[in-house]
Amino acid sequence: MTSKPTSRDSWHLDTLAVRAAVDKSQYGENSEALFLTSSFVQPDSETAARRFGGEEDGYIYSRFTNPTVASMEQRLAALEGTEACIGTSSGMSAVLLLCMGLLKSGDHVVCSRSVFGSTLKLIGSEFGKFGVQTTFVSQTELDEWRRAVQPNTRLLFAETPTNPLTDVCDIAALADIAHQAGALLAVDNCFCTPALQRPMDLGADIVVHSGTKHLDGQGRVVAGALCASDALIRGTFVPVMRSAGMSLSPFNAWVVLKGLETLGIRMQAQSQRALELAHWLESHPRVARVYYPGLESHPQHALAMRQQHGLGGAVLSFDVKGDSPEAGRRHAFHVIDSTQMLSVTANLGDVKTTITQPASTSHGRLTEAQRQAAGIQQHLIRVAVGLEHLDDLKADLSRGLDTYGRA
Ligand SMILES: *Cc1c(COP(=O)(O)O)cnc(C)c1O
């Protein structure tokens, strides 16, 4: 209940990442408490009435108020530089809450064509059923975004860098386009996290998170969040959460809360390894092309370095060689199946390095024509770099790289 007086407003990000939280309980725990309780006992009926009526702060019921979830929200808001945050049960339920809170029948959305697959489906198909119309545009061509805006455009939605090709969009330019149209810009910051990129500093209105990825960082829980102004969180999103219940469990919130304490050093260390691995792959004779924002060969390298605090992030992709889609697929599978240490899984943001062929996993539901249009070929492999020693990562990838097509 009590805490030492603090000068929290002057704290640096590194400090907020380990210190921002609700007050300690009467026991003075040093590691934040996990409040595994569905409801909270009210001191008396008058207090209960005031709390339920919103006239007094106080915990009521964990669908919409819980101290552990509140600690995670305070810490993530502090890192993103937003006034407030609301935790959600997954990254996708954060997108759901965003759309339920902001959109109504007749509204229009402009969205990058390269956003996460389930986001494409949720905004484009599911909300299409309720009369929300969406125009999908190029990740990088700002003119396409400008031309797509209509009088009823309410929301621009972007994700940068994209999965798996790491295309980077200009957040500040998109914020200008949104605001000139009287619309809001939401940015999915899953790949960079606030350790590398703060969309709010660049003019975005809402930051969307999958806590499942780097925020947890050790592949344990599914979680999500929206970060925005107090007016948007309290005025728009909390009422929807209270009715719709896409709530973050206290346990999962606690895991993410503790993950945030090491987010900064993890993102630096994983980005450093990813950059070294990208350089090594780029000079490898049996690699056709590498996609990584930290490489000078990346088409938006300068923008990425400006926007992402000089770091490329932990995800890279590369093409092996192959004369046909069949050969490309065979070679990619050979490289993946020859690894002995890397985790063959489509998840990312873990300290354990993961490897996957996007064409048959994360982008397997697309038609071959849609994949070609998106540039996701059969010979593309994605690696989400973790914290293993670089020599071990290279050795594990070399086994298949040195032998594919030579069977
Ligand atoms: C994984 C992911 C999501 C969805 O998050 P979940 O926690 O799996 O629901 C959204 N956006 C991006 C960029 C992701 O990688």
**Tens of pLDDT, residues 340-365:** 999 999 899 999 999 999 999 988 88
pLDDT over 90, % of the chain: 93
Gap from CA of 105 to ligand 1 centroid (Å): 25
pLDDT at res. 372: 82
Cα 91 to middle of ligand 1, angstroms: 5
Each residue of 276-326: pLDDT tens digit?
A: 999 999 999 999 999 999 999 999 999 999 999 999 999 999 999 999 999
> Using the 8-state DSSP alphabet, how is residue 155 labeled?
E
The alpha carbon of 323 and the centre of ligand 1 are apart by a number of angstroms equal to: 33
- Looking at residue 368, its pLDDT comes to 82
Place of tokens 């965003």: 98
Q: Is 208 a residue whose pLDDT tops 90? A: yes
Nearest ligand 1 atom to the CA of 347 is 1
Residue 3 has pLDDT above 90, yes or no: no
Distance 284 CA to ligand 1 centre (A): 31
For residue 134, report the distance from its CA to the centre of ligand 1, in Å. Answer: 20
Q: Which two tokens stand for residue 183?
A: 């619309």
Atom of ligand 1 nearest to the CA of 190: 13
pLDDT of residue 4: 57
Tell me what pLDDT residue 407 has. 60
- Rounded percentage of the chain residues whose pLDDT exceeds 70: 98
pLDDT at 370: 79
User: What integer is the mean pLDDT of 364-391?
Assistant: 90
User: Is the pLDDT at 7 greater than 80, yes or no?
Assistant: no
The per-residue pLDDT of the chain, averaged, comes to: 95
Average pLDDT value for residue range 379-383? 97
Instruction: Give dist(CA 389, CA 8) in Å, integer.
Output: 36
Query: Ligand 1: distance of its center to the CA of 208 in Å?
Result: 9
Tokens, residue 337: 């199946």
CA distance 153 to 184: 9
Give pLDDT, residue 6. 64
CA-nearest residue for atom 8, ligand 1, is: 91
pLDDT value, residue 403: 97
Q: Which of 21-25, 89-93, 95-99 has the lowest mean pLDDT?
A: 21-25
pLDDT tens, position by position, 50-61: 999 989 999 999
Mutate to test the pocket of ligand 1, among 193, 213, 252, 345 (most ligand atoms within 8 A of CB): 213
Pocket test for ligand 1, best of 98, 118, 207 (most atoms within 8 A of CB): 118
pLDDT-based confidence at 18, cuts 50/70/90?
very high
The answer for residues whose C-beta is within 8 angstroms of residue 320's C-beta and 6 or more apart is: 286, 287, 288, 328, 331, 332, 335, 379, 381, 401, 404
| 23, 28, 32, 36 alpha-carbon torsion, rounded to 10° | -90
Distance of alpha carbon 320 from alpha carbon 318, whole angstroms: 7
Ligand 1, closest atom to CA 93?
A: 9
Atom from ligand 1 closest to the CA of residue 115:
13
Least confident range from 162-166, 188-192, 250-254, 364-368: namely: 364-368
- The binding-site residues of ligand 1, defined as CB within 6 angstroms of any ligand atom, are 90-92, 116, 119, 159, 163, 188, 190, 210, 212-213, 222, 224
Closest atom, ligand 1, to C-alpha of 163: 13
Among protein residues, the one whose CA lies closest to atom 6 of ligand 1: 91
pLDDT at 9: 79
Full set of structural domains in the chain with CATH: 12-260 (3.40.640.10), 265-401 (3.90.1150.10)
Q: Of all atoms in ligand 1, which is nearest to the CA of residue 159?
A: 13
Q: Residue 371 has what pLDDT? A: 85
- Reported confidence tier of residue 1, pLDDT bands at 50, 70, 90: very low
Residues 359-369 pLDDT 10s: 999 888 878 88
Nearest to 254 by CA among 52, 103, 36, 404: 36
